[in-house]
Structure 1
Amino acid sequence: MARTDPAVLFDETPDEFADWTRAVAASLRERHDALVEGAVEEYGRVMAALPADHDRKDFALEVAKTVHRGVLFLLRDERRAAVSDWAWKQVEPRVERPFRNAEE
């Protein structure tokens, strides 16, 4: 399932939760954008460290020194939608069961 901007859920949100929902969506969007931006910057640093005639193996050896290994290959392969999906997965809130008693 492709992850998308959480703002698509606003139409389904009851009015009493609208402000909270918008705040959470804005926070998730900011975190998503920061992850993508960080990965793009890291990709730029990797590319700057490589010779002009590098191959995929040279790229892999340089990427092995980084934090975002997998996503850098997505950027190299120009798979921007997959990069966005990766970032949404990273910021996706964990499922919690609210108001759960220890007896449940």
Structure 2
Amino acid sequence: MTLLHDVLDPVELTEAVGTGLIRTQRHPRLPFTIYHCTEARRYSGAWSPVTPAYRGLIVSSGGRIVARTVWAVLATGGSRDVLLEPLPDEFHVWARGVAERLTTEVDSRAAAVEAAYDELVAGLPAGWGRKKFALAAVRSPHRGELFQRLDGHDYRPGLWQRARPPVDVAVRGAGE
């Protein structure tokens, strides 16, 4: 049984809820609290290691984590042991393999963003401004991440949101 306070800092949770970065929602019939990142967090770019961990997190009234998304664990560098804990042992090797493939995919995409950013900035004239940057970035498939990088925001959570295992890997399961 994984308790919320064993995995995530309750002080940081209280601060995130108090500042409107995380919202809670009570399940209509069951004794569960569902945590979500708010639109305010997304639009303001206010990001911390805590906020993505609460995306879709479901906690019982006793503080036990009932469900959490795979992406939240991976995006926060969370312990894959925490993620695997509720799974039967025969799924651990399969799940670790999927996690490693997704991590490699996100790392590769992040490297491509960094390379595109370095190339774009190197090609700009001295004293360039946001307008010159925008004119060059709009042609890139990484334009969203390039602007986040320019503004000093972490673009990796967005990369994690788009990372998915191939359908055949998700459907086949561990035994195949």
TM-score by length of 1: 0.80
Q: Percent identity?
A: 32
1:94 positional shift: 7.7
2:149 maps to 1:75:
yes
Conserved? CA contact 1:63–1:69, under 8 Å: yes
Amino acid paired to 2:74: D
Work out the CA distance in 1 between the residues paired with 2:87 and 2:156: 24
2:168 maps to 1:91:
no
Work out the CA distance in 2 between the residues paired with 1:38 and 1:4: 23
Distance 1:37 1:11, change over 3 A: same
Amino acid paired to 1:89: Q
Q: Tell me: higher relative CO, structure 1 or 2? Use CA pairs within 8 A at least 6 residues apart.
A: 1
Amino acid paired to 2:107: D
Q: As a proportion of its length, which structure holds more helix?
A: 1
Amino acid paired to 2:84: F
Work out the CA distance in 1 between the residues paired with 2:126 and 2:158: 28
Conserved? CA contact 1:4–1:85, under 8 Å: no
Partner in structure 2 of residue 5 of structure 1:
74
2:130 maps to 1:56:
yes
1:72 positional shift: 0.4
Q: Residue 54 of structure 1: SS of its match in structure 2?
A: coil
Return structure 1 stretches of 4+ with deviation > 6 angstroms.
94-97
Alignment length (residue pairs): 97
Partner in structure 1 of residue 93 of structure 2:
19
Conserved? CA contact 1:46–1:63, under 8 Å: yes
Work out the CA distance in 1 between the residues paired with 2:134 and 2:98: 36
Gaps in structure 2 of 5+ consecutive residues: 1-36, 38-51, 53-71
Work out the CA distance in 2 between the residues paired with 1:4 and 1:36: 18
Distance 1:40 1:58, change over 3 A: same
Gaps in structure 1 of 5+ consecutive residues: 100-104
